[in-house]
Structure 1
Amino acid sequence: MKTSFFKRAIFFVIPLAILLIFTLFPFVWTFLTSIKPQKELFTSTLHYLPLQPTLGNYVELFSHMKFVHNLANSLLVAIVTSICSLAVSLLAAYAFSRYNFPGKFAVMISFLLINMFPSVLLLIPLYSIMRQIGLLYTPWALIIAYSTFTIPFSVWLLTGYLNDLPISLEEAAMVDGCNRRQGFIRILLPLTVPGIIATGIYIFITAWNEFVFAVMFTNEGNRTLPVALQSFIGEFDIQWGLLSAGGIVTTLPILLMFMFVQKKLVEGLTAGAVKG
């Protein structure tokens, strides 16, 4: 019994604890930095814990900066991108999963090839297009730009998930009087919820964290959070207190999202891994 316990501790518990500490330390250090007063950020002696904890950085962040406006812009772009990309991807994935048509394989391969190239290659063409159609420096410029590289990968994810759902479910519904649209909405869509959640989180995180397109396609009036955080890094100094406080606030929506949909997310990511 003791031998089994020591083996488990040596080969599982201890390595897992080390990995957990290594992973969480940057986040803990960022939080501790965010509650330190300015005078404790630049000292000759290193103090891991703040001697005089304060929320002054958070107060300054929300009271004297445009951070709330930047937060609202990021939420708007991420939410609308997620909704639009999911709607298009789900319908496209259903078509690829349930219909056979000429060029189906070639289109799926083209979606895969799109994800093999860096998205930054689309920067100049999309910038030119947005300027010509008058959407530059508006939230729609980011929403459309993000959809160009979230939809192809989302189609792949949802197509694989739908392929694991037997077509006999829809056929049984149509025998009972449903048409194909009703069978999709009433039968298939509820079963696809875990896959939709997993795909939606991928899209949301991509739109929430993206920086390069946000720098090029926004101006002072509609900056998103990643660009706003970059403004705390000046040419001659870095506002570490505000930067760390902004980093903590930026990670909170993602953290809360994972907490509430963790079970569905795991179901969506592992769907199809085990065949019955």
Structure 2
Amino acid sequence: MGFAMPSSPFLKRGMRVSGIYLCAVALTLFLVGPYLWMVISSVSPERELISTPPHWFPEEPTLERYKGLIGTVQFKRALFNSLVITSLTVVVTLLFGSLAAYASARFSFRGRTQFLFSVLVTQMLPRAAIIIPLYVILGSCGLRDSRLGLIIVYTGFFLPVVIWILRSYFITIPTEIEEAAIVDGCSRVRTLFQVILPLAKPALFATGAYAFLSAWNEFFFALILTSYKAKTLTVLTTEFSTQGGIDYGMMTTAGVLGSLIPIVLALLFQKYVVKGLTAGWT
């Protein structure tokens, strides 16, 4: 007992650290496990996908599905549509979001509180409640099954979150910086684009990442509002499930290919995204 007492604080600390590591490992497996299984399934032969018990690792891995899918016109068109729609959605939301966030953060005007509240309320609307009006409106405007139609819809849904994140960050920037720029002869617009936005790069990366991932992974609107020309990767993935059965191999292959671009961007801009999401709330 005499030897155990002095070391008890170290034992408690070691147990606490071990518990933290175990929780981290368990959480990592919970989050990464499904994706790893999707990758394994995409390179597994068909007979191993439906075998019982399941094969945790393929005995004869194959890349034939990747070669076949990448070479199809449908995949190339869906990938192009996803890239165009997502990229333009990010640009438009950042442009209008920056203007609205800056105005609400720096100017006092009648109805500002109501404006911010109404922006937040739009996020509470279920998508199923407005899909029919959107379908009719886009059809009457000739924008159904078009990239422009999806860009407009995505911008309307993702813009509120972009405004709130950017506004929270703009508030943390000292007004003295803007006053100095105005004294030097800069207009409000020039001050925003040449002074404030460069200082708000972390927030722009964070909101840009949010808009990109949201638009890239969006499925509901893309499924209802497109049929052929503007079909995205998320919709294409579901086409491997038909009444005749489910092609798990091709579905997982499409899922892996569709996830590569978001994963690469997340790894490249992870530092900026974390900084942008946390700085505005400190």
Q: What interval of TM-score do these two structures reach, taking the shorter chain for normalisation?
A: over 0.9
Q: CA deviation at 1:177?
A: 3.0
* 1:16 pairs with 2:17: no
* 1:220 pairs with 2:211: no
Pairs within 5 Å for 1:230-245: 230-245=238-253
Equivalent-residue separation in structure 2 for 1:250 and 1:63 (angstroms): 15
Determine which of 260, 270, 276 is the counterpart of 2:278. Answer: 270
**Percentage identity across paired residues of the two chains:** 34
1:184 counterpart residue number: 192
1:59 counterpart residue number: 67
- TM-score, with length taken from structure 1: 0.95
SS in 1 for 2:242: coil
Comparing 22-31 and 1-10, the one that deviates more: 1-10
2:14 counterpart residue number: 6
Q: CA deviation at 1:131?
A: 1.1
In the TM superposition, structure 1's runs of 4+ consecutive aligned residues that sit over 6 Å from their partners are: none
Q: CA deviation at 1:233?
A: 0.5
Q: CA deviation at 1:47?
A: 1.2
Larger Rg: 2
Equivalent-residue separation in structure 2 for 1:75 and 1:137 (angstroms): 16
Unaligned runs of 5+ in 1: none
* 1:102 pairs with 2:110: yes
1:211 counterpart residue number: 219
Q: How many residues align?
A: 274
1:145 counterpart residue number: 153
Amino acid at match of 1:168: E
* 1:160 pairs with 2:160: no
Structure 1 residues 83-113: Cα deviation after superposition (integer angstroms, max 9, x where no partner): 1111111111111111111111111100111
Comparing 84-93 and 57-66, the one that deviates more: 57-66
Amino acid at match of 1:90: S
- TM-score, with length taken from structure 2: 0.93
Equivalent-residue separation in structure 2 for 1:33 and 1:239 (angstroms): 11
Amino acid at match of 2:180: A
Comparing 35-44 and 263-272, the one that deviates more: 35-44
Determine which of 256, 263, 267 is the counterpart of 2:264. Answer: 256
Pairs within 5 Å for 1:25-174: 25-64=33-72, 66-174=74-182
Comparing 88-97 and 64-73, the one that deviates more: 64-73
Question: Is contact 2:145-2:231 (8 Å) kept?
Answer: no
Q: CA deviation at 1:166?
A: 1.4
SS in 2 for 1:222: coil
Unaligned runs of 5+ in 2: 1-6
Amino acid at match of 1:206: S
Amino acid at match of 2:139: R
Amino acid at match of 2:135: Y
Equivalent-residue separation in structure 2 for 1:272 and 1:213 (angstroms): 31
Q: CA deviation at 1:126?
A: 1.3
SS in 1 for 2:245: coil
Amino acid at match of 1:109: F
Question: Is contact 2:48-2:54 (8 Å) kept?
Answer: no
Q: CA deviation at 1:19?
A: 1.2
Q: CA deviation at 1:211?
A: 1.1
Question: Is contact 2:150-2:225 (8 Å) kept?
Answer: yes
